Amino acid sequence: MAIKRNSFLVCISVFVSLTNLFGTKWYYIAVISCLLILLSLVSSFKILFNRYKWLNIFAIAYSISIIISTQLIKDYDVPFEYAVNLASPYVPVMYSLQFICCLFLIEYCNIYNTTKKFISSLIFFLFPFILLCDFLALFSSNDEENFLLGNKFNVTYTHVFFLFIFYYINQYIIKKSIFYKTLFLMIIVITFGMAIKLKCATSIISLFSALFVVFYLKKLYRFLINPLFCVFSIVALDLLFFFFISQILQIPFVQTIVVDVLQKDLTLTTRTNIFDLAFIPLAFRPLWGFGPFNCYAVVPAITGGYPNLQNGILNSVLEIGIIGTVLLLICVYFIIYYSNKYNQYRGNQLFLGLFVFFVIASLVEVTIDNMFLCYISFMLCVNDQKSQKYA
């Protein structure tokens, strides 16, 4: 299988979205690219399922559930204004293909000892998109909302992902070269710089938290990487923050960080208002939800203009229901389970930082979604033959 070709295909189908340039035509490019990747892996499906059996079973179950969620909404009798501008029923098909092809490709690379080549190639293909996006963003107006790689959140999340895969290469592949260490520090500065430029305070706080875990909590790694603990932390942190946001914002230290450091108001840019109304849309379809990406049609219609629920777990339940969210969390569990099982030298410690970034961001953003699964799939990555307990 051509690793470089599939690295390029997964780059443009999963980690780069140029819908701002090509509109919905880019979705067709993404779907075709995913299908080409899966076609190249067909002969290895049996091996992938032998080694990652339960992860792959639940990944397919999750994919089926989000497709069902969207199909059911077509027959759901709601007032017309709630159903305006719902996402295409083909969106969950694309999401399913993105996750499955990303997951299977990483599994394949682990089994056949091509992880180094895969991630190196992905960095090579992703870098020009990030560089061009940054260049254009520097000359954009301060009120610009969409950029080459999407909105400000898409841009910063792509930067953070690039930061961690680059550090993985630097830490485990290139023997900690001084040149690459310096380059890594430059990428950190650029990532923070873009988050500041785009006024994405959530990414700043989340990235600080992620880097702190990677560099200063190494002794707690075995505890933090426990699958049950990781799944519990997603649910617990999101729900605790949602229910106790008023009490948290009354803490003087938190007020200082929010108001004086981040230059935000104590409603967290209207998030507290959204939380007050969150159970209204959630009550409509708790089991199956409204379908992936449909929060942007449903939430404004019900709550009076707010775009989504601004909370990872709650927005996931709104879109893919309790059923889809539970399956998503089971996928998270097995990603970390198999990561621990096959990663002898703990290279996944770096990607634990990526996991922490999105979990912290999910307190006030909608980051527990399909892309979250794609990103944390890299926790499965092993350092070729040296990192595998057995092939």
pLDDT interval class at 390 (50, 70, 90)? very low
* Pair 299, 306: CB distance under 8 Å: yes
Would you state the torsion angle of the CA atoms of residues 102, 134, 28, 3, taken in this order, to the nearest 10 degrees? -40
> 383: helix, coil or strand?
coil
Domain regions of the chain by residue span? 3-387
What is the pLDDT of the chain when averaged over all its residues? 87
Residue 294 has pLDDT above 90, yes or no: no
Distance (Å, rounded) from C-alpha 7 to C-alpha 12? Answer: 9
SS3 369: coil
Using the predicted structure, report yes or no on whether residue 76 has a pLDDT greater than 70. Answer: no
229-264 pLDDT per residue, tens: 999 999 999 999 999 988 888 888 888 888 877 777
> What pTM did the predictor assign?
0.92
Predicted pLDDT of residue 225: 85
Q: Which of 246, 252, 251, 253 is nearest to 268 (CA)?
A: 246
Query: HEC states along 255-287?
Result: HHHHHHHCCCCCCCCCHHHHHHHCHHHHCCCCC
Can you tell me the mean pLDDT for 53-67? 97
**pLDDT of 172 over the 70 cut:** no
Instruction: Count Cβ atoms within 10 A of the Cβ of residue 46 and give its class: 0-12 exposed, 13-18 middle, 19 or more buried.
Output: exposed
Of the candidates 345, 338, 318, the one whose C-alpha atom is nearest the C-alpha of residue 378 is 338
Residue-wise pLDDT for 204-230, tens only, equals 999 999 999 888 877 777 778 899 999
For 273, list phi and psi in degrees, rounded to 5. Answer: -65, -40
pLDDT higher for 259 or 312? 312
Determine the pLDDT at residue 81. Answer: 56
SS3 for 291? Answer: coil
Of 111-120, 280-289, 330-339, the range with the highest mean pLDDT is 330-339
The alpha helices in 11-143, defined as continuous H runs, are 19-22, 25-41, 45-51, 53-73, 91-111, 115-138
